[in-house]
Amino acid sequence: METLTAVKTLYTHLICSKERDIYQKDRLQTFSEAGKPLLAQYDLEAGLERKILRDRPFDMWRYRELLPLESDLHKISLGEGGTPLIPLPETGKRWRVQQLRLKDEALNPTGSFKARGLAMAISKARELGAKVCAIPTAGNAGGAMSAYCAKAGLEAHVFMPRLTPAVFRRECEYFGAEVTVVDGTIGDCARKMRANWSPGWFDISTLKEPFRLEGKKTMGYEIAEQLDWECPDVIVYPTGGGTGLIGIWKAFEEMEQLGWIGSPRPRMVAVQAAVCAPIVHAFNRGMDVAPPVERPGETIANGLRVPAAFGDELILDILYRSRGTALTVTDAEILDALAEAASREGVMLSPEGAAVWAATGKLAATGWIRPDDSVVMINTGSWYKYAEQC
């Protein structure tokens, strides 16, 4: 089997997602001077062929050239990525969708897709000299960051809403992180983090650090590869800060430039909780930015309680360009979906994944999803961490 130590990244530089100006890759970067996310760029003209993947382990590092790490000496891995794409013919039959599949991200280290982003971000932070990492989190990202910091030997500071189930706090503490519990949402956690800021900390907040996105994009590479280099017609994603949605789309753009896939793209669907739906609100009004939700209600889908997404413009642009849509679900619908997925298909979904399940059922019922569409639902996390709540 090929060892990846000799494989070089094609990463060249960062650009501002809005102004397109260039940022150097040899130092820690956060976001652009225009206050927008930075996007990693690669030399996609280098003639990289799909056959390089042959014989590589099925984990996220098989796309090594398309990840920004310069040296494998700094690679911090717990076995992230390589999750199954599970066919659901029975549910597909009931919903009248011929090709329905579930990408089950619950099987990642620390039980969520956040592992991909944090494996990448912490590897890169270490490579560029960070010693202390700080994050506001709904729960899963904090656990993943703490785990990778533990393995990397970095100090971790986590700011988490009081409403987040205790298991999320306890795992961070086991990993050796300093956890601050905050009254309010992830937005309040970010404010608290800034108030407690110490020199030398590095901010790993969603899209305020460029490389979580690069880890998350590997979901897009995997989905295309698992479908034999065809894009599905529809991808349904539970959207909080939106890194997964933006990352999957970035993967498709890169793969087309590499010549790995053709130009057809999936219609991207953002699912949010009815009590906190800034993206759905903006999408329904045709807006390019999403005004923050002032007083978000409570939901069992913690990851969807994000009143203001830093990447709102990118998310909305992708929804419009892909001819996608955005919709909300209630907690009651989430609980029904969870029970249905478990009893009929043998899969346990996180509340966020159950939100996707409920939304997909609705879109099939209204005809927005057509019988001949190939549909991928993303279950972003494990139910087992929420066992006390649902």
Applying CB under 6 A, the residues found at the interface with ligand PLP are 112, 114, 138-141, 206, 238-244, 303, 350, 352, 380-381
In the complex, minimum distance from the CB of residue 129 to ligand PLP, in angstroms, rounded to a whole number: 26
Residue facing ligand PLP at closest CB distance: 303
Query: What sign does the CA torsion over 307, 310, 313, 318 have?
Result: negative
Phi, psi of 108 (to 5 degrees): -75, 160
Residue closer to ligand PLP, measured from CB, 44 or 359: 359
CA 112 to CA 147: how far, in whole Å? 12
When the beta carbons of 261 and 309 are compared against ligand PLP, the nearer one is 309
- Minimum CB separation of residue 110 from ligand PLP in Å reads 10
Nearer to ligand PLP, 10 or 156 (CB): 156
Ramachandran class of 136: left when φ > 0, alpha when ψ lies in -120 to 50, beta otherwise: beta
- Which of 214, 352 has the CB closer to ligand PLP? 352
Residue closest to 375 by CA, chosen among 267, 243, 280, 273: 267
Residue in 163, 95, 146, 183 with CA at minimum distance from that of residue 300: 163
Note whether 161 and 138 are within 8 A (CB): yes
Closest CA to 177 of 159, 193, 195: 159
- What is the nearest approach in angstroms of ligand PLP to the Cβ of residue 307? 12
CA distance 22 to 16: 7
Closest CB to ligand PLP among residues 68, 381: 381
Residues 6+ apart with CB under 8 A from 93: none
CA angle 79, 83, 88 (to 5 degrees): 165
Nearer to ligand PLP, 25 or 247 (CB): 247
7/390 with CB nearer ligand PLP: 390
Q: Which is nearer to ligand PLP, 37 or 240 (CB)?
A: 240
Q: Which is nearer to ligand PLP, 48 or 274 (CB)?
A: 274
The whole-angstrom separation of Cα 205 and Cα 306 is 12
Other CB atoms within 10 Å distance of the CB of residue 259: 12
- In three state form, how does the secondary structure of 187-241 look? HHHHHHHHHCCCCCEEECCCCCCCCHHHHHCHHHHHHHHHCCCCCCCEEEEECCC
CA distances from 272 to 56, 95, 101, 279 (A): 36, 21, 20, 8
| 104 token code pair | 């089950």
For residue 214, the minimal CB distance to ligand PLP (Å) is: 13
**CA dist 308 to 22, 186, 248, 311, Å?**
26, 9, 21, 9
Measured from the CB of residue 130, what is the shortest distance to ligand PLP in angstroms? 21
**Coil, helix or strand for 148?**
helix
Q: Between 10 and 304, whose beta carbon lies closer to ligand PLP?
A: 304
